[in-house]
Structures are given as C-alpha cells and as structure tokens.
Structure 1
Amino acid sequence: MKQKLLGFFVLFLIVLAHGQTIRYVYDTSVNPDSINLVTMKSERTFLDVKGDHSLFISENKLVRDSLFAIFKSEVKENNKKEEKDFSKLEGKRHHEPTFFEYFITKNIPERKVYYYDRVAGKQIYYQEDRPIRWEITNTVEKQNGYPAQKATTSLGGRTWTAWFTKDISVSDGPYKFSGLPGLIVKLEDDKGDYKFDLVKKIMIKNSFEEPISSDAKQSTRINFRGDKAALELEFNKNRSTMATNNVGENMHSGSGRHGGGMRGGNHSGGGMHRGMGGEGNNFPMQGPNGDTPSFKSGASPNQNPIELN
C-alpha cells in the first residue's frame, strides 16, 4: 500500500512539473551603439523552460504581447468596435522598448533552435542551421551565486564566454545558446556589447506562451532578411492599392450628399484604424509596417545587432 502511495505521489509530482514553467530571469545589458562603447542599457530577459522546450523573450516584449493577446480576446468575445479598442489602448502605448523584438524557441533534447520575428503583420521564422560548438575549459568560479565552469564559442561574428552550472541540470541558456552540461548563468561577448546575468528562478503556473501562427512563413537564416523585405514590399503594395480604392469609393459615395465622402471614409473601412491594421478583421493599432502592435515610439533602439554576420 505504501509503495502504491509513493508511486502515485511521484507520478503526481511529474505531472505537476510538466504543467509548470520554470522561468530563469536574466539582467541583460546592451551597448546600443555599434561603433562606440556608450552607457549600457539594461532590461530583463526570460528563459521559460517547460518540459523539453524553452522560450527566450524579453520582459518588455512579453508584457506587450500578452496585453495585446488579452485585448484581442476581449474584442472577439464582446464584438467591440475598433474605435473603442483604440481609445482603450491609447493610454498603454508607451511601455518600455526592447532590444529583442523577436522570440526564440528551443527543443532542448534535439538541440533545435527556431527564431521568430514579425513583419507586415505576418509571422516569419527560420531554424538555426549553425550548431554551437563549445570549448569547455577547466576554469571553475562562482558566478551569480552558483559554482560555474567556463566555456567559449563563436556565433554571429562574436566570441562568447559562458559560465554554466551543473547545479541546474538544464542544457540551455539565453538567446540561441544551449548544449552545455548545465544552465548558463552568465554570458557575455568579446566586444562588451551584450551581457546576460542570471538573477533568479521562479515557478509559473500559467505562463504566457507566444502563439505560433498557422500561416507563419518559413524561411532560412540565409534568406531571412530578403524574405522579410519581400513581405514588407508586398504589404506596402497592397496597402497602396487599398488606399487608392478607398479614395475612389469615398469620392463616389460623397458625390451625392454634402460631406458624405469624409463620413464614408471613417466608417466604410477606409479610415485610420482599418487602414493601419490591414484587413477589417485584423487587430487595430498595428505598427507602421503592419507589425505586431508596438507601444514604443520612434526608431527601434537596436542599432547594434546581436549577430554581426
């Protein structure tokens, strides 16, 4: 009887563990200038590990994306008008910007890494095709509260130094880095532009998971920039055609009554909200290129890419 109870308890713990997400929180420092060493900017990044899979994402992006997921769900449930959604979001647009306008998923045992971005309202991704080859040294030091061992590798035109701990038996780390016999607790590049420091570990019952679109465009690492540019070009071309058609419709609808054209433009699908969002059933307040809605204003702060080639 005791053995049965013990077996049931162990099974319960396994099921519970697989249903929870372990979040590793990193203080991340970035040099925003690719030429000069200026004051480092800081934000937090998360490595969410659930079972055999993980998600790397910045805190600012996760907060922004989860907020919009909630609003989008409310719109569908309550069938609210786009104008109401716009005013509801207006006061929430100025969340902190992020240097990581993408997210990365990993299949940890198979060492498969997927990079997801969004352009022109469409998700696009590729599978990383460069296996990370670590050189593990015999140097052992205490890093961020853990006994850690030093390892080095090269990726994207930078040489990276990682400190991993066997005290946490997760073969993973920030960004695309994984494959060491333990969790990476500290990571920095040779140019002093990027630094990740593990600061805490927390358990989350129902963590937000970035949705993977069923129509996401698959690309390759080599063709990624070209495919993104093609999607943006196609979007701008369609938007230009739609704008031309809306002008013609508004002129036609307004010709028979005083001021009718402007009123028609605001309600017939040619107004600001539909025009910026693309199709009428898209979520409003998309970015200028139809990207995932962004709270930040101005140009992206990421002038210093994490991968130089």
Structure 2
Amino acid sequence: MKKLLILMLMFSFYGKVFSQTERYIYQTEVNPDTINLVNMKVENTFLDIKGNQSLFISESKLLRDSLTTVLRQQGITETKKSKKDKSEFPKLPNGKSIQPTFFDYFITKNRDDRSVNFVESIGSKQVYYQEDRKMNWEISTQVSDFNNHKVQKATMNFGGRTWTAWFAPEIKIADGPYKFLGLPGLILKLEDDKGDYRFSFVKKINIEKAFSEIIKPEARKSTRINFQGDKASVRMEMVKNKDPEINFDSFNRMNQRNGGMNGGFGGQQGMNGMPNGDMGGQPDMQMGNPSSQSPSNSGSVMNFGNTNPIELSNKY
C-alpha cells in the first residue's frame, strides 16, 4: 500500500516539475580505488538536453531526488528506522532499492555562455559554485567510429587528469558528460589517461515528462575554492537549528558506504543492454515512469573507501 501511495503521488506531481527532454544515456565506469586492485564500478549517467540548457546527473541521484521531492511535498522529512535502528529510505514501487552513486551532485550548463554550475544538496539546502576554469580542447584530426557514429578525437588537461574525448560533429550539441562542453559536437566517449573514469554513450531517448533539477533561488552560492567550507557551514547551521531535513541527508551519506565518493573534488548498476529503454529489471531510465525517479542528497565529500575522486586537483 505504501509503495502504491508513492506511485500515485509521483503521478500527481508530474505536472509541476516535469517537462520534455532529450536524454543521452552513458554507461559510466569508475575505478573506486587507485591503490588497491578492484573491479570497475558501473552505473548510468544522464545528459538531459533542453534547448541551450543541459543537466548532468546520475540515474541513482535522479531516482533519489525525485522520490525525496515527493516525500517532502507530503511533509515527510524523516526516514524510518529499521529493526537494527538504521535509517531506511523508502523503496521504489517495484520493490528495489536505489543504488549508491559516485556522482552525488548535479551539474547544469548553458551552452550559449558556456557557464557550468556544480550543485550539491544538504537535506533540502543547496550549495553551488560556477566553474571558473576554461576548457581548452586540443582537437586532433584523428577520426574513428563509435556506436554507429563518426567521431573525432580531442584532448584536454582538467582537474589534474588528461582527458580524451571522442565527439560526433554530426550531433550539433557542444556538450558532454560531467562539466565538459565546448567541442563542435556531442561527446560520445570520454576517459581519463589513468583509466579511472570512462563515459560511453549508449543511446538517446526522448521523454515527455522528465524530472527536472534546478538551482533554488535560496541556494548558497560559493566558489570552487571555498566550496567545502561553505558546505560544512550550511550543515552546521542545520544541525544547530535541529532542521529535520538533515535526516534525509544523514541517510544519504550513510547509504554511500558501499557506493563511493562525491566526484566534485574528490553503485554499481549494470547496463544489461537496456532493452526498451530500461535495464532488464532495473528502474526505467526514461524517468517518465515513477519506478524510475531518484532522490540523493549529500552534503560533503563522500569518502567511504573510495580514494579516487574525479578531480585530483583543485588548481587546473
């Protein structure tokens, strides 16, 4: 009954926060530890395009955030306790749990002015900064084929890693996974020189009603250098004020223990071929289906065993 209620609430909520979207789905592989020999973790990340605006977000975070939004609309700000006195987030209507993610944040981009905003949540509060580093791509003449598209090679040093991107000039969207944009075509494949992060385009889907993340008017604006300190300040204020929203945040941080680390400065979920836009038993990636919405709100850098952040340096 509780799952059915959540399902109904999500249907009724669509008209307020959902809109038409072009979604580019990437299979994303992450090496969670640069010291120990471990298997690559795999999850889905999305690049949602609407006009000149885009949103980069992981599937798990989108699931968690949308469900959290619905619960907050009903005045539910506390997670229930299990028999072992651990916080439990409500399961999806299909009975499955939301998987941890290495990307517990979202990124918004405007391709007209090339602005990039990195946003994290602490409970219902947001802290964000605008990326201040230029992306100076070196475009090669080397071409190849990837996923039935002609692609061209480009490289760039960013965040302490050397990145190689393969973009499709035929897809006139100067965007890509994570913060990356500015190439004359959509980035279909992206990996760093250490082989720790790899984004591979799988498919595009059009969605009539997709959950939309936005930067709230009351969000705390920070800078890239002061970001961690401002997040800590917001968290301390919430704890001091005994804000009940901190319960969601505490649950989400605990839930990362088996999933990894915030990728700002630093879940495994298989692709299964994704027939019909879903994941072979996993939630529907279109997010037009309530069994595929997300809530994940984190406030600080997750460091539960993952020692391999996506950005190794805060200088470059």
TM-score normalised to the size of structure 1?
Answer: 0.72
**Equivalent residue, structure 2, for 1:49:** 49
Bigger radius of gyration, 1 or 2?
A: 1
Q: Look up the match of 1:170.
A: 173
Q: Which residue of 2 aligns with 1:296?
A: 255
Q: Return the offset for 1:202.
A: 0.5
Tell me the distance in 2 between the aligned counterparts of 1:106 and 1:97: 24
Task: Report the counterpart of residue 98 of structure 1 in structure 2.
Answer: 101
How many percent of aligned residue pairs carry the same amino acid?
Answer: 51
Matched ranges for 1:194-273 at <5 A? 194-236=197-239, 238=240
One-letter code aligned to 2:111:
I
Q: Distance in 2 between matches of 1:220 and 1:176?
A: 15
Structure 1 residues 130 and 46: alpha-carbon distance in aligned structure 2, compared to 1, 3 A threshold: same
| Cα deviations by residue, 1:51-70 (Å, 9 ceiling, x for unpaired) | 11000000011011111222
State whether residues 86 and 285 of structure 1, in contact with CA within 8 Å, keep that contact through their aligned partners in structure 2.
no
Q: Which amino acid aligns with 1:286?
A: F
Residues 167 and 182 in structure 1, CA contact (< 8 A), matched pair in contact too: yes
8 A contact 1:97–1:295 mirrored in 2? no
Please identify which structure carries the higher helix content: 1
Count of aligned pairs? 241
The equivalent of 1:180 in structure 2 is: 183
Q: CA deviation at 1:173?
A: 0.2
Cα pair distance change 1:133/1:287, threshold 3 Å: same
1:7-46 per-position Cα deviation (integer Å, ceiling 9, x unaligned): xxxxxxxxxxxx7311000000000003244210000000
- Given that residues 21 and 208 in structure 2 are in contact (C-alpha distance below 8 angstroms), is that contact kept between their aligned partners in structure 1? yes
SS for the counterpart of 1:287 is helix
Aligned partner of 2:129 among 105, 116, 126: 126
Which residue of the partner structure matches residue 11 of structure 1? none
C-alpha distance 297-223 of structure 1, shift in aligned 2 (>3 A): closer
Give the structure, 1 or 2, with the largest relative contact order (CA under 8 Å, sep 6 or more): 2
CA offset at residue 234 of structure 1?
3.3
Deviation at 1:229, TM superposition (A): 2.2
Contact kept, 8 Å, 1:160 with 1:188, in 2: the verdict is yes
Seen in structure 2, the aligned counterparts of structure 1 residues 21 and 295 have a Cα distance that, compared at 3 Å, is: farther
Structure 2 counterpart of 1:102, one-letter code: Y
Q: Which whole-Å deviations, capped at 9, do the CAs of 1:100-126 have from their partners, x for residues lacking one?
A: 000000001110000001236420000
Matched AA of 1:28: T
Q: Which residue of 2 aligns with 1:136?
A: 139
Contact 2:144 2:151 in 1 (8 A): yes
The answer to which of 36-45 and 148-157 deviates more is 36-45
CA contact (8 A) 2:169 2:184 kept: yes
Unaligned runs of 5+ in 1: 1-18, 243-277
Change in CA separation of 1:171 and 1:196 when aligned onto 2, cut-off 3 Å: same
Q: Which residue of 1 aligns with 2:22?
A: 22
CA distance in 2, matches of 1:40, 1:221: 28
Task: Answer yes or no: is the 8 Å Cα contact 2:52–2:112 preserved in 1.
Answer: yes
**In structure 2, distance between residues paired with 1:132 and 1:59:** 26
Report the residue type matching 1:176 in the other structure.
K
Q: Match for residue 286 of structure 1?
A: 248
**Superimposed CA distance per residue, residues 150-191 of structure 1 (whole angstroms, 9 cap, x where no aligned partner):** 000011000000000011110000000000000000000001
Cα distance in 2 for partners of 1:153, 1:118 equals 29
